[in-house]
Amino acid sequence: MKSDPPTCISCGSELQSSLAAGQCMACLLQLAKDGQDSMPGGHDPFVSLLEQTRFADYEIESEIARGGMGVVFRARQISLNRPVALKMIIAGQLASPDLVRRFQTEAEAAAKLAHPHIVPIYEVGESETLHFFSMKLIEGENLASLINEYRVQDGTASQVLDRQRRIAKMMLKIANALALAHKHGVLHRDIKPSNILVDVAGEPYLTDFGLAKLTEQTQDTLTRTTAVLGSPSYMSPEQASGDHDQMTTLADIYSFGAVLYELLTGQPPFAGKNAIETIRRVIDQTPERLRSVNERIHPDLETIALRCLQKEPHLRYASAAEVGAELDRFLRGESIEARPVGPFQELWRWAKRNRRVSLLAVTLFLALVCGTVGVAWQSRRATKANETLTEMVATLTWSRITDLVTRGEVRLALTHLARMMRDDPTDWRVAMYAMSVLDQSRCHVPVGPEILHPGQAIITAVQLDPTGRILATGSEDKTIRLWSVSDSQQIGRPLVFDGVVKSLAFDHSGERLAAVSGKGKLLQVFDVESRQEIRSLRFDNQIVQLEYPSPQPQVVVVEGSSLHVIDLDREDFDQVYDFQQSIAALSLSSDAKRAVLRLNNGEAIAVDVESGTELLRVNEFRIGDATISANGRLVAACENNFGNAAVWDIESGLRKCKLDTHEGEVTNLTFAADGNRLFASSVLQEWVVSYDTHTGLQSGSRMTHAERVTSIHAFDGQRQLMMVSGRNGVRFWDALTGDPSASPVIISKGIVSAGSTESGDLLWTGSCSELGSWHIDSIQLWRLHEPQVPPVLAESPEPYLASAGTVSPDGHWVAANVVQRGSNGYDRVEYVTIVDVTTGETLRDPLPLDSTPYGLAFTPDGSRLLIVTVRGKIYLLSTPDFELIKGPIDSGNPIQPSRMSPTGDRFATGSANGWVAVWDLESLTPIWKERHSDSRLNDLCFSESGRWLGSCSNDGTAKVWDVDSGQVAVTLLGHTDKVYHIKIDEQKQLLATNSDDRRTILWELATGRRITSLEHAVETNSISIHPTKELIVTADRDGRCRLWNTQNGQPVGRPMVHDQPVVALSFSEDGERILAADQSGFRLWDTETQQPLTVLHPHPTQASLGVDSDGCRPVFFDHGNAVFCGTVSYRCQIWRLPPPRGDVPSWCPEFIESIVMQRFPSGSDIPVLVESKQHEQLKTQLSQHPDSDYLRWSRRWLESVNQAD
């Protein structure tokens, strides 16, 4: 039987040849011209239809678009009075049966799909022999017209990333829509930008199923065996070659990748001069890498697109759902599963397509391989050795840096970190750690430019006013100048004198300034604001010392052999005490009621300042230095040249102890605030040592300097010490402990002298531009940066240890346990208080409890707050009013621990006598109650879905319960001691338990089969399973935290070490960071490198409650960007610690170097000093830099320094 001649699939005309796989030339070219009329001769059957405006139940308003098969009108459905898009076959009544069937297939395919991102079908029908269907009208444009708006263009790093995230979000929605179509047996076969509509809200819709194929059809009656269907630039290779046997859902995956490619780059993966050339490129060529077109395209998006565009279908993603999952991982900041196609894979695939050429290439290659294999082997060994060496160097570098921070040498540590940031700006971990070191450091920051007198005249006197507002300087230019502390600018006109200003002193309010000038015999007191002289006194001898010590308007002056106490308000009240011997120096007690006078004859006397009465005379040896304790009870003195030194008690007049000065002569004696320690600097060596004033023996370690200490100043009630040592700068120490209290201040010119306010928050240093000179010609002001500690949200009135605290899922509220003293004076009264995190306000009166809460948790949606107490009472509060809606309900058993279900409708409780119960949250009634054992329960853990509940006990067992039925699903037997923690990972089908038997055991969730055992040197305190990777982290009681591979039980990387036992561990939501809390505070670690991301943030806590329960551990929240601390502690706080995003800007290392005032030159490990003016310059330039996490951090840091202004 003679077969019918072949016809064109698009127009139905008879084919004259088999060119282009069953399509006529006109229709093949039409593939490159979407939207143009395909009817021969320009005939348009819809002109009359538009003229009559009414068709069936529709009123036609305008034409929207045309394709190769159909035309779409904007219309209104009359019966329902709603706008619609009306589609009809473009050939009208002349349509061939094939076109009609194809049109019907499109309607059928779209109608069976219900998805928010697929245009829904309203009606399918035929009227006046014209086939049609109506669908939802999408107000907007097709994606093809928006390519330039979406493609990755120039901009800041954050703008480029935001644009790519916008593309990924859109394509994720299309992938989900496509996955639904495939699930219902529909292949689209024509995915391209013009078939994706975008409404005015930016939501995408997949449309035009004109080439769709229903996979349940036994035979594709709508295509010829060799027909090419689709749009050339977006069709898959099997589609382009007409190989319909290979046409599966994977063809749509390819087209999806082509659209993603064009959205990112602005161009399709293949585009030729005509349709035939484009098809040949699709079949034969590999698409250009996206990052070759635009290097700012994210590597993960490039990998996803190129995986979709693989030539061989089996190498693409297996489904649209997999593509959507990859895009979702990218949007959540997780690692994608696909790996980039390497050059060897590309070469192999090219060779399969070009067999003859590749055979010649392989022959030549084999000839070369034999000659180079030895060299390659040696090169590989060298590369491996270099990689190992690089890893060791990095580990040692980090160890050195963390050791420097631990020892308090943060300046050198930050100098190393700044160099590392400059060498690798992509390493955000280094930047985050450097920020943390600075945030938690006590260091002085330059304030304003250097202060100079005209002509750089020598500055002879410097004094800060006690309020920290004004600095006064006197000079050889015979002037006193006042300077604003906030900006180092001169205030008003100078005060002019007849002679050189020798010394200065402010009163306690900063309103009066006393000055000694001329030959040192003239004392004048001025009103600071008006510059008017209040009083003037001239003495017979040169004034040796001037002090303005107390709130009373009195000035203490040492002149010749006399001590003058001058009342500035009453001229007749001046007191003069003559001690017959010239006075060399004066030291006052903190209340200025007692003083010790060092006489030029080598003696020292302690006197009562108010009466001039001699209280004690010290003359055992020739005294070179003497001082009095803050409380005025002790005198210390040391001998010149021979090293004798001792402490005397003023009340008894007896020597209390002799100092152990066997290592040489000492000077610069200074008492600690409590008088129990005395500090002295070596005359010949570069150290300061402390002595016990009861025994005279050295106490504590030496306070070592690089140069000899020239002076010691006490401040903060003599609790802090400041030591000046020339080019070694100024160093700060805690007088009570002998530990460093702040980072040193070092400048290139060296420091001749220094002073501070009594509080120590402001510092001045005096230097000389002439090396070796002891004169001062410039002053630099500094402000102390205190460690940044968040506000306390809740704490007990007295230092009672509270057991529990929690933060709402959105971070708006904190619920915390507070404790008060009972009415009898010794009982504890327990409460829960609710605090607004933003304002710090308490939202309700404290809720009294019957006993200590051992469970405190918000529901996942934040609508309820559950409180469970150790005596078994249960309370349920509503939010945001925090009213008690149920309770207290008596559970019938003591409760510890408790755990909220991830579903938020249930919670579980355990008890000391081994009972496990699951409760309905709203009714607070038990769903079931079963006994785990007779021993105390230590932990409860729900699986992610809430289906399973794990429990563990002191009897050494753990169990998994079916939450719905209360039946035991698995019993875990294998530990030989108490089991303290149980964790469930339902996705990995993994259980983890740890015990006092020094083992962590990993189990299979479904069967309870033991997978592996992790052996520890000591007992473990905590465990946590990584949210996505095959990792678990454990915390040993020796302070070591360790990552392990859950598949083979082997340790991963290096241990993360704390100085104290770590009591709590958890991963961040993305698994990139680890929170480890010990008894002093917490720090964050990087999961990938095991490097610290922060220093230890102080938050003292008790070792453990013995159980793990909701609200009893520090936790991550806000997607791992914040940490809540308030459990087993004295206070509640929230620390915001987001990792910085983007590369480190070039100015950031310079900013850190300007703070620590040193840097490493290129290629050198010896730091050089940075001038203080660089810090001022960088501060002024911050406004010129683009916004970034680094810029916002630097501004916050500077604001924290200036809060005292």
Q: How many CB atoms lie within 10 A of CB 451?
A: 20
**pLDDT-based confidence at residue 31 (cuts at 50, 70, 90):** very low
Provide the pLDDT for residue 363: 57
Instruction: Tell me how far CA of residue 314 lies from CA of 233, 254, 305, 308, in angstroms.
Output: 21, 11, 15, 10
Provide the pLDDT for residue 586: 94
- Rounded distance between C-alpha atoms, residue 1027 and residue 660, angstroms: 60
Return the structure tokens found at 239.
């589609």
Residue type at position 422: R
- Does the structure show a pLDDT above 90 at 385? no
**pLDDT-based confidence at residue 926 (cuts at 50, 70, 90):** very high
- pLDDT (tens digit per residue) in 758-808: 889 999 999 988 776 788 999 999 999 999 999 999 988 776 767 789 999
Provide the pLDDT for residue 37: 39
Provide the pLDDT for residue 39: 39
**pLDDT-based confidence at residue 157 (cuts at 50, 70, 90):** confident
Provide the pLDDT for residue 22: 44
Q: Higher confidence at residue 433 or residue 16? A: 433
Q: What is the DSSP string of 428-444?
A: HHHHHHHHHHHHT--EE
What are residue 49's phi and psi, to 5 degrees?
-65, -40
Return the structure tokens found at 338.
């696909």
- pLDDT (tens digit per residue) in 623-666: 999 999 999 999 999 998 777 899 999 999 999 999 988 777 88
- Does the structure show a pLDDT above 50 at 38? no
Range of weakest confidence among 65-74, 324-333, 408-417, 1039-1048? 65-74
Q: Which residues contact 344 (CB under 8 A, 6 or more apart)?
A: none
Q: Higher confidence at residue 1189 or residue 129? A: 1189
Closest CA to 732 of 749, 713, 706: 713
Closest CA to 249 of 322, 302, 304, 356: 322
**Helical (H) or strand (E) element with 720:** strand 720-724
The sign one gets for the Cα dihedral 1191, 1196, 1197, 1203 is positive
- Rounded distance between C-alpha atoms, residue 1132 and residue 1122, angstroms: 13
- Pairing outcome for strands 213-214 and 186-187: antiparallel
Contact criterion met (CB below 8 Å) for 850 and 873: yes
**pLDDT-based confidence at residue 1176 (cuts at 50, 70, 90):** confident
- pLDDT (tens digit per residue) in 956-1009: 999 999 999 999 999 999 999 999 999 999 999 999 999 999 999 999 999 999
- pLDDT (tens digit per residue) in 1108-1159: 888 888 999 999 999 999 877 778 999 999 999 999 999 999 999 988 888 9
Instruction: Tell me how far CA of residue 329 lies from CA of 336, 613, 1102, in angstroms.
Output: 6, 82, 38
What proportion of the chain, given as a percentage, has pLDDT over 90? 54
Q: Which domains does the chain have, with CATH numbers?
A: 31-137 (3.30.200.20), 148-353 (1.10.510.10), 407-426+1143-1204 (no CATH), 891-1015 (2.130.10.10)
- Does the structure show a pLDDT above 50 at 34? no
- Rounded distance between C-alpha atoms, residue 957 and residue 396, angstroms: 42
Q: What is the mean pLDDT of residues 812-821?
A: 92
- Rounded distance between C-alpha atoms, residue 217 and residue 108, angstroms: 12
Q: What is the mean pLDDT of residues 811-839?
A: 90
**pLDDT-based confidence at residue 827 (cuts at 50, 70, 90):** confident
Instruction: Tell me how far CA of residue 476 lies from CA of 301, 463, 517, in angstroms.
Output: 70, 16, 10
- Rounded distance between C-alpha atoms, residue 1171 and residue 1157, angstroms: 7
Percent of residues in the chain assigned helix, strand, coil, to nearest 5: 20, 35, 45
- pLDDT (tens digit per residue) in 1074-1097: 999 998 999 999 999 999 999 999
Q: What is the mean pLDDT of residues 567-583?
A: 84
- Rounded distance between C-alpha atoms, residue 59 and residue 52, angstroms: 9
Provide the pLDDT for residue 648: 96
Q: Is the pTM of this model over 0.85?
A: no
Instruction: Tell me how far CA of residue 179 lies from CA of 184, 206, 324, 1125, 1203, in angstroms.
Output: 9, 12, 9, 43, 56
Contact criterion met (CB below 8 Å) for 876 and 864: yes
Instruction: Tell me how far CA of residue 871 lies from CA of 839, 894, 915, 1102, in angstroms.
Output: 33, 4, 14, 21
- Does the structure show a pLDDT above 60 at 17? no
- pLDDT (tens digit per residue) in 126-154: 887 788 889 999 999 999 999 988 888 87
Provide the pLDDT for residue 802: 75
Active site residues: 190
- Does the structure show a pLDDT above 90 at 820? no
- Does the structure show a pLDDT above 50 at 208? yes
Return the structure tokens found at 680.
């002295």
C-alpha torsion angle, residues 76, 78, 80, 84 (rounded to 10): -20
Q: How many CB atoms lie within 10 A of CB 146?
A: 17
